[in-house]
A and B are shown apart, each in its own frame.
Chain A
Amino acid sequence: ETGVTQTPRHLVMGMTNKKSLKCEQHLGHNAMYWYKQSAKKPLELMFVYSLEERVENNSVPSRFSPECPNSSHLFLHLHTLQPEDSALYLCASSQESRGRSGANVLTFGAGSRLTVL
C-alpha cells in the first residue's frame, strides 16, 4: 500500500460507455497526476493538478476529462473511448513547493487497467 489508492483496478468498457477512474491519496500531498502507460512506450503525463493550478498535455484527446475536487481526490472521466486507449492508467501524488528546485518525488497508485472493446 503506497498511500495512493486507485479504483477500479480493472475496467472493461465499450466505445459508447461512460466511466470514471478514481484516485485518492492519504499522504497529505498537494499535487496529483494522471499518467498513461502503454506497452513499449514511456509513461505519458496526461494531467497535473498542482498548487491549485491544472496543467494538461495538449496531445490528450478530449474524451479524457479530469476532475480534482480537492487535494486528496482525483478522477478521470472517460467517454467514447477508442481501442487504442486501452492501457494502464496510473495516478500519482507529490508534495510541491513554489520556487523550490530539487526532488519532488512521485508516489504512484497501483493503477487501473483499462480495456476498450
Chain B
Amino acid sequence: QKEVEQNSGPLSVPEGAIASLNCTYSDRGSQSFFWYRQYSGKSPELIMFIYSNGDKEDGRFTAQLNKASQYVSLLIRDSQPSDSATYLCAVRHTGTASKLTFGTGTRLQVTL
C-alpha cells in the first residue's frame, strides 16, 4: 500500500509568520511530489511541484524534498489570512499515467 501521511491539523499560525507543512511517503520509487491548496467547497489547485532533492522556491512558497528520509515539506513565508485552506500533498509513482496518491491534507488557519 503506497501511503502519503499528513497531520490533519488544524495548524494555526499568526499573520506574517512562517507556516511549515509536512508530508511523509512510503514508496521509495516515487518520482514527483506536489502540493495542492484546497479552499473549503472548492477543488484543489496546484501550488508547486518538486522532483529533485533540495529546495524549490516560488514567491512566498518553498518546497523541500528529502528522498532519503522520504519527506516533503511546504513552507509559506509571511502567511496571510488568504492562505487559510487545506494543503494536500500528492506523490506520483513510476509509470506513464499520472497516478497520484494524495494525503488527507493539513488544514492551515492564519490568524489576525
A50 to chain B, nearest CB (A): 4
A101 interfacial by beta-carbon distance below 8 Å:
yes
- With A90-B43, A103-B32, A111-B43 known as contacts, the answer to whether A48 contacts B97 (CB < 8 A) is yes
Chain A 95-114 interface mask (CB, 8 Å, partner B; 1/0): 01111011111111111000
B20 to chain A, nearest CB (A): 21
A39 to chain B, nearest CB (A): 10
Rounded to whole angstroms, the CA-CA distance of A37 and B17 in the bound complex is: 30
Chain B 32-60 interface mask (CB, 8 Å, partner A; 1/0): 10100000001111100101000000000
A60 interfacial by beta-carbon distance below 8 Å:
no
Main secondary structure of the interface of A (DSSP, over half): loop
Rounded to whole angstroms, the CA-CA distance of A117 and B45 in the bound complex is: 30
* CB atoms of A102 and B88 under 8 A apart: no
Rounded to whole angstroms, the CA-CA distance of A98 and B95 in the bound complex is: 9
For B98, the chain A residues whose CB sits under 8 A away are: 31, 33, 48, 50, 94, 96, 104, 106
Rounded to whole angstroms, the CA-CA distance of A90 and B99 in the bound complex is: 14
* CB atoms of A45 and B49 under 8 A apart: no
* CB atoms of A42 and B104 under 8 A apart: yes
* CB atoms of B32 and A98 under 8 A apart: no
* CB atoms of B34 and A105 under 8 A apart: yes
Rounded to whole angstroms, the CA-CA distance of A52 and B100 in the bound complex is: 18
A11 interfacial by beta-carbon distance below 8 Å:
no
For A33, the chain B residues whose CB sits under 8 A away are: 98
A17 interfacial by beta-carbon distance below 8 Å:
no
What are 18 of the A-B contact pairs (CB < 8 Å)? A33-B98, A40-B104, A42-B4, A42-B101, A42-B102, A43-B102, A48-B98, A50-B96, A90-B43, A97-B96, A98-B96, A101-B32, A103-B34, A104-B98, A105-B34, A105-B46, A105-B49, A111-B43
The 8 closest A-B pairs by CB, nearest first: A43-B102, A50-B97, A108-B43, A104-B98, A42-B102, A103-B49, A42-B104, A103-B32
